[in-house]
Amino acid sequence: MTATLPVAPATRPSMTIRGHWIDDWRPEDPAFWEAYGARVARRNLIFSIFSEHIGFSVWTMWSVLVLFLGPAYGIDPAGKFLLTAVPALVGAALRIPYTFAVARFGGRNWTIVSATLLLVPAILAAFLIKPGVSYTTLLIMAAVAGVGGGNFASSMANINAFYPDRLKGWALGINAGGGNIGVAAVQLVGLAVLATLGAGHPGAVAGIYIPLIVIAALCAALFMDNLSHARNEKRAMREATREPHTWIMSLLYIGTFGSFIGFGFAFGQVLQVQFHDTFSTPVKAAYLTFLGPLLGSLIRPVGGLLADRLGGARVTFVNFAAMALGASIVLVASQQHSLPMYLVGFIALFVFSGVGNGSTYKMIPAILRAKCAARAMKGADPREAEHEARRLSNALIGIAGAIGAFGGVLVNLAFRQSFLAYKSADAAYLAFIAFYLVCLAVTWTVYLRPSPGRLRGV
């Protein structure tokens, strides 16, 4: 007779929580991830996307509000492009401090703060935009809207800490795409207001977002968490500034994300100015302005997937060639006053800037992994080299994200200067073509050209 011994139950991993602070977070542990991690990370991802989405909408709200600024406001096209360049500049500048804020204050806590701050530009725009308001006041209100631009950086840093390495690409891609769609969303809100209330109610666009901002802050307070282990690695940021690839990738990201956010700000204005006979009223322009940002946001994950299959540098190289072609089509269409050709070219710019967002982001960790492998082959400790690559990768992404967002400023300043000097946008299109060709050449020279020092797998 054989006795059956009782089997001890499998040890269930634990998670230590103090209020909304999680003290024990082990996403790389498969048992922990299955028992607790996946559910908690998914919940934080959902509400982080919601807050970031609203942040993007507030950041780019002035791309819609300038459509309401008719003759009664006395602002010329150059003045309107400055109104859209200012929030782009402030948003770009805030990205690095917002990245540090997550580890300093906690992801949940900073999401509450950053979401609540969005009330300031929304309330100002809801009540102060009316004929007779000074241009200086409008500039200040546009600058305050830049706080929404920092939300992307803090959201990405927060979600990056929640997910294991094997799922970071997917999680960060979903997070970024959900935020970017906020650009198209605010365009649709503007279209709805123009279609129902008319061009005399710009404050209604901002007013719609006030309750949504309150909901986002409340959801962050109720459903999100802070991670105690998240720490700022200040030396990593300092060391990343000494890494040549940081500045190369920042240049390329200006060409991709900078183009996306810059065209998102400027598209509606350019349509009204270049094709005034067709888009004589703001509502006519608003029917099309959301389409480009929407497609560019939705296709961003495709750029990452293509980079996984074909290599990030190869996809980025082809992408810049396509963007140069798209800008060339826009230039020819502008000179021939062909609206269909113009729309094809501009939509292509949005789509390929979205693809490039995904492929350039994929290049960054690949570059540092390749350098890590090269150091390991020369005798360095493989584990230390891998840790160093991951540490610098996070810092490089933060720097490139901030500098890339500055591209939105450059796009709007290029349009402004072109209209001031030549009364058309053709000079700006020529500048864009030249810049994309420079990015094409840099990508080939640094990452694709056969040479002994070429980084493998980028």
Residue 287 — very low, low, confident or very high, per pLDDT cuts 50/70/90?
Answer: confident
Residue 313 — very low, low, confident or very high, per pLDDT cuts 50/70/90?
Answer: very high
pLDDT in tens, 8-36: 344 445 555 566 889 888 888 899 999 88
d(CA 68, CA 187): 12
pLDDT in tens, 232-279: 666 778 888 888 999 999 999 999 999 999 998 888 888 888 888 888
pLDDT in tens, 31-75: 999 988 899 999 999 999 999 999 999 999 999 999 899 889 999
d(CA 269, CA 377): 54
Q: What local confidence, expressed as pLDDT, does residue 8 receive?
A: 37
Q: What local confidence, expressed as pLDDT, does residue 380 receive?
A: 63
Q: How many CA atoms lie within 13 A of 123 on its CB side?
A: 8
Q: What local confidence, expressed as pLDDT, does residue 376 receive?
A: 67
pLDDT in tens, 315-330: 999 999 999 999 999 9
Contact 76, 423 (CB under 8 A): no
Contact 56, 179 (CB under 8 A): yes
338: left (phi > 0), else alpha (psi -120 to 50), else beta? beta
